[in-house]
């Protein structure tokens, strides 16, 4: 089946420093899956941060970027300069493009803590 | 208001009791989902509902059943809860397929003692 791997369960970064959260995936679909980053801020529900559906393309939102790398099967999340308000749990996810398979597969999440 | 509401937020039950988790959405979304999340694991799909009375098993349906009698409401039922069903349960909805944006509730933390 499909799987998403986030290698870091927790990451701590100082404010204004750069960030990368790693995500690799494995998909069983014949075509390429759609890739997502979701985020859960403290006290809030999980929400979509960004989505990329075409291999080789980059998605961006709120200063975060992620590039769909089909060769490396990766979709790492990056930000050049983090802020305290970025503290949250980030989930990488994929959806299979097989017709009738309406499932999103999530990674285990990475808890990001920003040190002031 | 684009909201998914889950009730209750916290629930403690004894093993063998029945559990009802409720979820509502105000966006007239066709598709609704129930997930559970355990420490160190990603969200695991329990059931998908494509519309009223059109439900499909996800990856871990055993021990659960669902009910969707109105488009806005999707219930998760645990008949005779077990301790290994202690988890955080999330409801979500989307306008169409999983390729669309999912809207999530805040989650229900269920403890089965």
Give, in degrees to the nearest 5, the angle at Cα A24 between A73 and A47: 115
Tokens for B60, please give them: 């871990």
CB B93 within 8 A of CB B2: no
Q: Is A59 on the interface with B (CB under 8 A)?
A: no
Has residue B98 got a pLDDT over 70?
no
CA distance A110 to A11: 7
Q: Is A104 on the interface with B (CB under 8 A)?
A: yes
CA distance A59 to A74: 13
Q: Mean pLDDT, chain A, as a whole number?
A: 92
pLDDT score for A2: 86
pLDDT score for A100: 57
A95, A97, A108 ranked by CB distance to B42: nearest: A108
CA distance B68 to A82: 42
Tokens for A71, please give them: 């060769």
pLDDT score for A21: 97
Tokens for A50, please give them: 């960004």
**Span B35-61, average pLDDT:** 92
Phi, psi of B109 (to 5 degrees): -90, 110
Size of interface A-B (CB pairs under 8 A): 53
Please report residues of B whose CB lies closer than 8 A to that of A110.
none
Has residue B1 got a pLDDT over 80?
no
pLDDT interval class at B96 (50, 70, 90): confident
Nearest to A89 by CA among A34, A39, A50: A39
* pLDDT tens digits, A6-53: 989 999 999 999 999 999 999 887 678 899 999 999 988 899 999 999
CB B45 within 8 A of CB B60: yes
CA A44, distance to chain mean position in Å, is: 18
pLDDT score for A99: 54
């Amino acid at each position: 089946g499909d799987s998403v791997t986030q290698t870091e369960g927790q990451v701590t970064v100082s404010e204004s420093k750069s960030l990368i959260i790693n995500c690799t995936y494995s998909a069983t679909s014949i075509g390429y899956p759609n890739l997502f980053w979701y985020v859960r801020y403290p006290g809030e529900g999980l929400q979509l941060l960004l989505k990329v559906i075409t291999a080789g393309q980059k998605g961006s939102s709120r200063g975060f970027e992620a590039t769909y790398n089909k060769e490396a099967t990766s979709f790492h999340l990056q930000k050049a300069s983090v802020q305290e308000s970025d503290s949250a749990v980030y989930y990488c996810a994929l959806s299979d493009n097989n017709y009738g398979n309406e499932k999103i597969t999530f990674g285990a999440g990475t808890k990001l803590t920003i040190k002031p | 208001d684009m909201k998914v509401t889950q009730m209750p937020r916290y629930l403690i039950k004894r093993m063998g009791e029945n559990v009802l988790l409720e979820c509502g959405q105000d966006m007239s979304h066709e598709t609704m989902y129930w997930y559970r999340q355990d420490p160190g694991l990603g969200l695991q799909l329990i059931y998908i509902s494509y519309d009223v009375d059109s439900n499909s098993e996800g990856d871990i349906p055993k021990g659960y059943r669902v009910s969707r009698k109105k488009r806005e409401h999707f219930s998760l039922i645990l008949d005779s809860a077990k301790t290994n069903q202690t988890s955080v349960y999330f409801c979500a909805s989307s306008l169409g397929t999983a390729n669309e944006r999912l809207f999530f509730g805040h989650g229900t933390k269920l403890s089965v003692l």
